Each structure stands twice: as C-alpha cells, then as structure tokens.
Amino acid sequence: MKKYSIALASLLLVFSFTSCKNTTKKTSDSTEDTSAENQSDKTVYASDVIPFFDDWKLILGDGSNVGIANDFENKDFLYTENENGEEWVVFKAPNGGDTHGTSNNTRTELAQIKKWYPETADDKLTATLKVMNVSSTGDARVAATHAVVVGQIHSADAFENEPLKIFYKKYPGQTTGSVFWHYEINTAGDDNAGRWDYSSAVWGNDFSVVGETADTYPAEPEDGIALGEEFSYEVVVKDGIMSLKFMSDGHETKTFTKNLLESEYTTIADIPEQTKKLFFPIGQDGVERKEAYAGEGCFFKLGAYNQTNGKSPDVNMNWCSGAETHGGDIQKQYADGNYAEVWFKTASISVSDAAVSNEGYFTKND
C-alpha cells in the first residue's frame, strides 16, 4: 500500500510540473503575441519613408498649412501604405474644398522652404511614384480635366509663375494616360494676365489633346502610363539650365533641357501654335521677359496638386473642369472617384549652399 502511495505521489508531481511548464510557455507566447501586435500597430509616418521633411512645409487638401510635417499623418490627405512589403507615401486631394491662396485647385503638396536662383543654382529633385486616381468626372474639352501635377518648380518672387509642372492625365475608361511637363512664361511687363503654358509630351499626349465634346474623349495615347504604374523623374537646375529626365520600366527614357535665363518667347511670332490654339481664345497671349526667370527665387514642390475642379468651363476652358465636388464634401468625393491620389516610394532633394529662406512665400497667394 505504501508503494502505491509513493507511486501516486510521484505521478502527481510529474503532472504538476508539466502543467506549470505548459502554463509558463503559454504566458510567454501570449507576451510575444502582444509585442508583435504592438509592433504592427506602430504608425509609419511619411517622414519615415521619405526622410527629407525638414526641407519642406506641407499644404493639405483642405487648404491648411501643416508646416514641417515630421511624424505627421492625416488619413484624409497624407499617410502611408504598405504594399507587398514596400512603404509608400500617399498624397490625396479632392476636386473641391478649401484651397491654398487664390488657387482654384486643392492640393496635398510639399513646398521647399529654401529658394534658389537659377543663375547660381546647383539643385536637384528626384522622385519615384505612381498615380492611383484622377478625377472620374469633368468636361473632356478642358485640358486640365482628369489631371494631377506631381512635381513643380515655382517662383517665390514677382508674379510667382511656374517654370515647371509635371502632369499625369488619364481619361475615364481608358487603360493608359499621359505624362507631360509644362513651362509657364514669366510674363513681360507689369500685368501677368497674358501668361500661358507650353506643354511637352513625355509618354502619351501633351496638354492640348482634348475631347471634341464635354463627354467624348480623344483616342487612348500610345506608349501611355497606366494608373498604378511606376515612373520616376529627375529635375536638375544648374547654372541656369533646367534638365529633366523621365524613366519607367518598359518605356523609353526621355530627357529635356530648358534655359531659365534666356527666353524663347519675347515676341508674338515666337509663340508656339499649341499656345495659340489653347490660350489665345481666352485672352492669354502675352510674351515673356527677355531674361525669363533670372533673378527670381525658385523652389521645388512635390505631391498631388489636383488639376480638376468644380468651376464652370465658361470661366476658363483650359483650367475650369466643371467636375463633381458634392459641395465640398470630401468623403462623398472620395467615395465616387472625384479626387487625385499619388503614391511616392522614394524622393530626394539636393540644395546648393546659395539657397536662402523661402518663408515669405507661405504668406502669399498661389
């Protein structure tokens, strides 16, 4: 009987040890699971993905100025997405809402906080991105409809014109869209009303290819870029010359140069036919000052500057789209595709020692 008692006691001791051991392991697993969950819940900020936010201030799609946006997110306008293990920075801007300055268009966009002068510049901006959405509505005759600007050079002085705007544009129902860039003249004289843009195609069409009626579209572009298809741009300004390079897998690399110190458009005879077709009918027929952007402080911009808005085409047939805005209700616009959305995977900026503060720009109109 004593032997049985000893055996039973030994068996109970084994079960007790095993039970404690299992309990301890379960507790350890639970701790590990909680730690992993906390790790996955950690916010990845845009400034974690593209660590150059000290060089920029951020404007949101509701017109607000965030300032330097380190460790910042706003789920309506700027946040990050992880796709197949890669982090992307998402910029979104609705068709209608509060805008920055006197602009007709909303933007979620970074503006460089230092300005540089083309004649002494040695400055560079690069980005790899994909456009995920452009407006689902708008008058097809209006050149800016269904488009978004994803990079710029902007003047901080005088008329605050733009020697560079990089566009993506795609019509509804088409598989591919176009990438093109604009040069806006720095108008001669004291009146900027005659300013105009000249558009150069990169892949697909330029700005001037539009629909014949409000709801018919031109032919789908050859060698176009689809929504969600990656492409890269590189912008260098050195000693007054702007050099552009555009790259995308499966597409021909394209390069362009433009002198920012000497104008090509100082007389009416110099104005291109594209400009006469688009801008002369709306009274924009100015010439450029001989020295173009010489002596003016310029700065880079990057993000989603939505070119589609709700203003009537009767106001301006190039820039007023007559698109759906749901009275400025952002969530309704997002629900039915009336917004621009651009994802950036990488971006970099290189600024020369000659660059100076651009703080004054942020109190001006744009």
Is 90 exceeded by the pLDDT of residue 362? no
Please state the length of the chain.
Answer: 366
Residues 18 and 51 in one domain: no
pLDDT confidence tier of residue 142, bands split at 50, 70 and 90: very high
Nearest residue to 288 via CA among 155, 142, 171: 155
- The mean pLDDT value for 294-310 works out to 98
> Using CA atoms, how far apart are residues 194 and 315, in angstroms rounded to an integer?
15
- Helix count and strand count (H, E) for the chain: 4, 18
Give residue 305's pLDDT: 98
pLDDT confidence tier of residue 40, bands split at 50, 70 and 90: low
Residues 5 and 88 in one domain: no
H/E stretch holding 6: helix 2-41
> What is the span of the domain harbouring residue 33?
1-42
Q: What amino acid is encoded at 64 in this protein?
A: S
Give residue 290's pLDDT: 98
Nearest residue to 168 via CA among 194, 187, 144: 144
Whole-angstrom CA distances from 140 to 211, 214, 279, 319 are: 5, 5, 17, 11
pLDDT confidence tier of residue 200, bands split at 50, 70 and 90: very high
Residue pair 347/52 in contact by the 8 Å Cβ criterion: yes
Is 50 exceeded by the pLDDT of residue 164? yes
Give residue 140's pLDDT: 98
- The mean pLDDT value for 343-363 works out to 82
Residues 19 and 79 in one domain: no
pLDDT confidence tier of residue 98, bands split at 50, 70 and 90: confident
Residues 178 and 90 in one domain: yes
Residue pair 341/330 in contact by the 8 Å Cβ criterion: no
Residue pair 261/293 in contact by the 8 Å Cβ criterion: yes
Q: Rounded to the nearest 10 degrees, how much is the dihedral formed by the CA atoms of 95, 99, 101, 105?
A: 0
pLDDT confidence tier of residue 366, bands split at 50, 70 and 90: low
Give residue 3's pLDDT: 41
- List, in order, residues 6 or more apart from 149 with CB less than 8 Å away: 165, 166, 167, 304, 305, 307
- The mean pLDDT value for 176-193 works out to 97
pLDDT confidence tier of residue 11, bands split at 50, 70 and 90: very low
> Using CA atoms, how far apart are residues 62 and 64, in angstroms rounded to an integer?
6
- The mean pLDDT value for 205-226 works out to 97
Residues 235 and 182 in one domain: yes
Residues 238 and 358 in one domain: yes
Q: Which of 247-261, 272-286, 343-357 has the lowest mean pLDDT?
A: 343-357
- pLDDT above 70 covers a percentage of the chain that reads 86
Residues 29 and 136 in one domain: no
- pLDDT above 90 covers a percentage of the chain that reads 82
Give residue 101's pLDDT: 67
> Using CA atoms, how far apart are residues 216 and 173, in angstroms rounded to an integer?
11
Is 60 exceeded by the pLDDT of residue 311? yes
Is 50 exceeded by the pLDDT of residue 28? no
H/E stretch holding 47: helix 46-49
pLDDT confidence tier of residue 7, bands split at 50, 70 and 90: very low
Is 70 exceeded by the pLDDT of residue 12? no
Residues 116 and 22 in one domain: no
Give residue 41's pLDDT: 75
For residue 194, count CB atoms less than 10 angstroms from its CB and return exposed for 0-12, middle for 13-18, buried for 19 or more.
middle
Residues 91 and 21 in one domain: no
What is the number of domains present in the chain? 2
Neighbour tally for 263: CB within 10 Å: 20
pLDDT in tens, 106-139: 999 999 999 999 999 999 999 999 999 999 999 9
Residues 19 and 141 in one domain: no
pLDDT in tens, 219-267: 999 999 999 999 999 999 999 999 999 999 999 999 999 999 999 999 9
3-state DSSP call for residue 363?
A: helix
H/E stretch holding 90: strand 86-94
> Using CA atoms, how far apart are residues 79 and 81, in angstroms rounded to an integer?
7
CATH number at residue 339: 2.60.120.200
pTM, full prediction = 0.88
Residues 19 and 76 in one domain: no
Nearest residue to 135 via CA among 106, 100, 171: 171
Residues 336 and 216 in one domain: yes
Neighbour tally for 269: CB within 10 Å: 7
